[in-house]
């Protein structure tokens, strides 16, 4: 006897949803593509700004915030949902504090809330000093599968921001891998513990969270449908 046809997923009733990719990644990443397809099945267009533009070498958190500001203005409508991965998660937190009326909720995937601060191993102090002296250093860019140069202004600018201590009240879902070697799960637990607006889910996964994407999607849908 043939199986009945699969019922289509119910549309999500939501305002704009924006995906914020991580450091040396892009809007074409595995997570971005997966989420774009899943949201499309629910009738939602996922906006994915590319923070590598106009070029990777001049990237800064300030520029990312300005680009996100412009993206939110272009989308219009009610408060947006931000989904931020790694550095994109830190950006989402900073944006929630800066634009409280324009951002309604956050989904943070392994958020780098201590980025460039003590406790986050971006680089050793010796390599940071060398970066300062030379002015640029290469980083492997996962989207391009090659090394690309980044100005030291990226590091200097990042010291202006402290997402770990940011004040924001939007409902927030964090999904964090227990075996993450880039973002320490204990740091994320401490970040979440201080804020009653955060729900933290720890996953048996690494930083990229690729193995957990189906489960992450289920959590995102439940989170968005119950608010």
State pLDDT tens for residues 164-186: 999 999 999 999 999 999 999 99
Q: How confident is the model at residue 143 (pLDDT cuts 50, 70, 90)?
A: confident
pLDDT of residue 156: 93
Element (H, E) at 66: helix 61-75
* d(C-alpha 220, C-alpha 140), whole Å: 30
* d(C-alpha 222, C-alpha 81), whole Å: 14
207 dihedral zone (left: phi>0; alpha: psi -120 to 50; beta): alpha
Is the confidence at residue 95, as pLDDT, over 70? yes
Q: Give the rounded percent of residues in the chain with a pLDDT score beyond 70.
A: 92
Could you tell me which residue, 201 or 1, shows the higher pLDDT? Answer: 201
Is the confidence at residue 151, as pLDDT, over 50? yes
Is the confidence at residue 120, as pLDDT, over 70? no
Q: How confident is the model at residue 115 (pLDDT cuts 50, 70, 90)?
A: confident
Q: How far is CA 40 from CA 8, 12, 34, 79, 126, in A?
A: 12, 10, 10, 19, 46
Is the confidence at residue 11, as pLDDT, over 90? no
Q: Where does 17-225 sit in CATH, by number?
A: 3.40.50.1820
Mean pLDDT value across the chain: 92
pLDDT of residue 3: 46
Three-class SS state of 113:
coil
* d(C-alpha 56, C-alpha 62), whole Å: 14
Query: How many Cβ atoms from other residues are within 10 Å of residue 90's Cβ?
Result: 31
DSSP string, 178-223: TT-SSS-HHHHHHHHHT-TTEEEEEESS-TT-GGGHHHHHHHHHHH
Two structure tokens written together for 197: 């607006």
Residue among 41, 35, 173, 9 at smallest CA distance from 107: 173
Q: How confident is the model at residue 7 (pLDDT cuts 50, 70, 90)?
A: very low
* d(C-alpha 26, C-alpha 2), whole Å: 42
- Give the residue-averaged pLDDT of 187-206: 97
Residue among 52, 117, 113, 59 at smallest CA distance from 87: 113
> What is the DSSP-derived secondary structure letter of residue 120?
-
């Amino acid at each position: 006897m043939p199986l009945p046809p699969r019922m289509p997923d119910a549309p999500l009733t939501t305002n704009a949803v924006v995906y914020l990719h991580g450091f040396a990644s892009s809007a074409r990443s595995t997570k971005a593509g997966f989420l774009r397809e899943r949201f499309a099945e629910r009738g939602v267009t996922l906006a994915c700004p590319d923070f590598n533009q106009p070029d990777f070498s001049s990237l800064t958190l300030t520029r990312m915030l300005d680009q996100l500001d412009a993206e939110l203005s272009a989308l219009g409508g009610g408060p947006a949902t931000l989904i931020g991965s790694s550095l994109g998660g830190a950006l989402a937190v900073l944006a929630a504090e800066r634009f409280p009326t324009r951002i309604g909720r956050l989904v943070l995937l392994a958020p780098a809330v201590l980025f460039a601060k003590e406790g986050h191993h971006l680089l050793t102090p010796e390599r940071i000093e060398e970066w300062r002296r030379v002015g640029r250093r290469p980083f492997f860019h996962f989207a391009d599968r090659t090394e690309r140069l980044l100005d030291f202004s990226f590091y200097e600018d990042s010291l202006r921001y402290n997402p770990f201590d940011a004040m924001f009240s939007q409902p927030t879902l964090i999904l964090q891998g227990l075996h993450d070697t880039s973002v320490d799960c204990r740091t994320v637990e401490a970040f979440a513990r201080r804020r009653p607006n955060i729900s933290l889910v720890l996953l048996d996964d690494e930083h990229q969270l690729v193995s957990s994407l189906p489960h992450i999607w289920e959590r995102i849908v439940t989170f968005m449908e119950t608010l």
